[in-house]
């Protein structure tokens, strides 16, 4: 067993043999940033000040050679080989919410887009309400200990209703089942809340939100949270998709902009043949065209790993401090990511 010490707060927690730093932190009630839990997205990156880590599960794909040379580690995969001192951000607001499993009932099912189903889930009779912060996600629990993560697209409500946006993935067993067979009244078992992609309310800086595809779900929850607070902070909401039809709640976002003078909505479509009059291009490039200097902003981004990866470095290059870049990336479930990682390793060895 090893001890991890957090430099800023001085908090300490123990790590059992074979356990990752993130797993041990969560067991100890310490909220450290994370998202994909597979070493791909980089949300859980921290700086190792003392000690040594190993990566016996998945390689730290989100760390480039430069980051590793600066002693960066990925907490979701790093297993201590000694006592550690790390420099990592703690997310205090997420620390006090208990994670739990509950059974839910499908109360509504809406076709939001040709490949996107909107679900409304309510706690089954006798089950407690799930509590969460806007922007967090849950896992749908499947057989054989498999899980499928989905962002929660709304903030907590008195009736416990949970809104999910489920994109059908070709060949994806669970999403195909949701698309073809799931009906109102069916039951699911879920666990949450998870993730640290949550609102930061301790500043008055202008905010930029960038969503890709169904990454709009947690952005929706966070934006609606700030609107409910009556914030006067500037909010620029960018939503990128392949086609105009994939901007599936466009009318809602346009209504936000109409009702709130401090909010502007920017839909961006990557396929010019399917733009239908909307702005064409890549969404992260649109952000930088409009906001070339991000040094005074806070940026929230959610979507596919490729979009997160592209935006991350370019936004830092535009002056954004990394401590003000918040992101969520879990395009694939951990077991699917493991298959991708294994395939990549095979290619690199060939």
Residue recorded with tokens 């999403």: 175
Determine the CATH number of domain 2-90.
Answer: 3.10.20.30
The two tokens of residue 12 are: 């300490």
DSSP letter for 95, please.
H
Structure confidence at residue 345 (pLDDT): 55
Determine the CATH number of domain 99-194.
Answer: 2.40.30.10
Q: Which helix (H) or strand (E) holds 212?
A: strand 207-212
Domain with CATH 3.40.50.80 in the chain: 207-328
The two tokens of residue 311 are: 């935006």
19-29 burial string, b = 16+ CB within 10 Å, else e? bbbbbbbbeee
Structure confidence at residue 349 (pLDDT): 43
Structure confidence at residue 341 (pLDDT): 54
Do the strands 263-269 and 279-280 form a parallel or antiparallel pair, or are they unpaired? parallel
Structure confidence at residue 110 (pLDDT): 97
- Give per-residue pLDDT as tens, 173-211: 888 899 999 999 999 999 999 998 999 988 999 999 999
- Counting as low any pLDDT under 70, the low residues of the chain are 92, 171, 330-350
286-303 burial string, b = 16+ CB within 10 Å, else e? bbbeebeebeebbbbbbb
What whole-number distance in Å separates Cα of residue 16 and Cα of residue 327?
29
> Are the beta carbons of 178 and 117 closer than 8 angstroms?
yes
- Half-sphere exposure of 134 toward its Cβ, with a 13 Å CA cutoff? 20
SS3 316: helix
> CA-based angle 62:63:68, to the nearest 5?
170
> Are the beta carbons of 254 and 247 closer than 8 angstroms?
no
Residue recorded with tokens 């902009």: 257
CATH topology of domain 207-328: Rossmann fold (3.40.50)
SS3 174: helix
Structure confidence at residue 144 (pLDDT): 84
The packing angle between helices 216-229 and 250-259, to 10°, is 20
> Are the beta carbons of 76 and 22 closer than 8 angstroms?
yes
Nearest 5°: phi and psi at 166?
A: -110, 115
> Are the beta carbons of 130 and 193 closer than 8 angstroms?
yes
Structure confidence at residue 348 (pLDDT): 43
Do the strands 187-194 and 137-141 form a parallel or antiparallel pair, or are they unpaired? antiparallel
DSSP letter for 186, please.
-
What whole-number distance in Å separates Cα of residue 152 and Cα of residue 224?
12
DSSP letter for 132, please.
-
The two tokens of residue 17 are: 């043999």
Domain with CATH 3.10.20.30 in the chain: 2-90
Domain with CATH 2.40.30.10 in the chain: 99-194
SS3 239: strand
Do the strands 187-194 and 100-113 form a parallel or antiparallel pair, or are they unpaired? antiparallel
What whole-number distance in Å separates Cα of residue 295 and Cα of residue 298?
8
Structure confidence at residue 42 (pLDDT): 81
Structure confidence at residue 346 (pLDDT): 55
Structure confidence at residue 206 (pLDDT): 98
> Would the pTM of this model clear 0.75, i.e. be above it?
yes
Structure confidence at residue 328 (pLDDT): 84
Residue recorded with tokens 């966070």: 222
């Amino acid at each position: 067993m090893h001890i991890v010490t957090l430099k800023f707060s001085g908090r300490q927690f123990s790590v059992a043999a074979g356990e990752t730093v993130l797993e041990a932190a969560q067991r100890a009630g310490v909220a450290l940033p994370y998202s994909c839990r597979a070493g791909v997205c980089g949300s859980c990156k921290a700086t190792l000040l003392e000690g040594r880590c190993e990566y016996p599960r998945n390689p730290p794909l989100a760390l480039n050679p430069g980051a590793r040379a600066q002693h960066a580690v990925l907490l979701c995969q790093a297993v201590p080989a000694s006592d550690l001192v790390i420099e990592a951000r703690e997310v205090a607001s997420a620390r006090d919410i208990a994670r739990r499993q509950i059974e839910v009932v499908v109360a509504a099912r809406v076709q939001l887009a040709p490949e996107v189903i909107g679900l409304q889930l309510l706690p089954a009779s006798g089950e407690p309400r799930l509590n969460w912060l806007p922007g967090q996600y849950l896992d749908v629990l499947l057989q054989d200990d498999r899980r499928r993560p989905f962002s929660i697209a709304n903030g907590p409500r008195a009736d416990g209703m949970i809104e999910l946006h489920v994109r059908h993935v070709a060949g994806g067993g669970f999403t195909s089942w949701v698309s073809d067979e799931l009906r109102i009244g069916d039951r699911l078992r879920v666990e949450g809340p998870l993730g640290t992609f949550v609102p930061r309310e301790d500043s008055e800086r202008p905010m930029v939100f960038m969503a890709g595809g169904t990454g709009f779900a947690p952005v929706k929850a966070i934006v609606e949270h700030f609107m409910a607070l009556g914030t006067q902070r500037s909010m620029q909401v960018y939503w990128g998709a392949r086609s105009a039809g994939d901007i599936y709640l466009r009318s809602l976002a346009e209504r936000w902009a109409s009702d709130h003078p401090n909010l502007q909505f920017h839909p961006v479509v990557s396929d010019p043949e399917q733009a239908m009059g909307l702005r064409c291009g890549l969404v992260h490039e649109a952000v930088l065209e409009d906001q070339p200097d991000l040094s005074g902003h806070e940026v929230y981004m959610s979507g596919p790993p490729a979009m997160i990866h592209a935006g991350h470095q370019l936004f830092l290059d535009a002056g954004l401090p990394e401590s003000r870049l918040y992101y969520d990336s879990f395009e694939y479930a951990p077991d699917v990511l493991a298959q991708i990682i294994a395939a990549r390793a095979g290619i690199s060895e060939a």
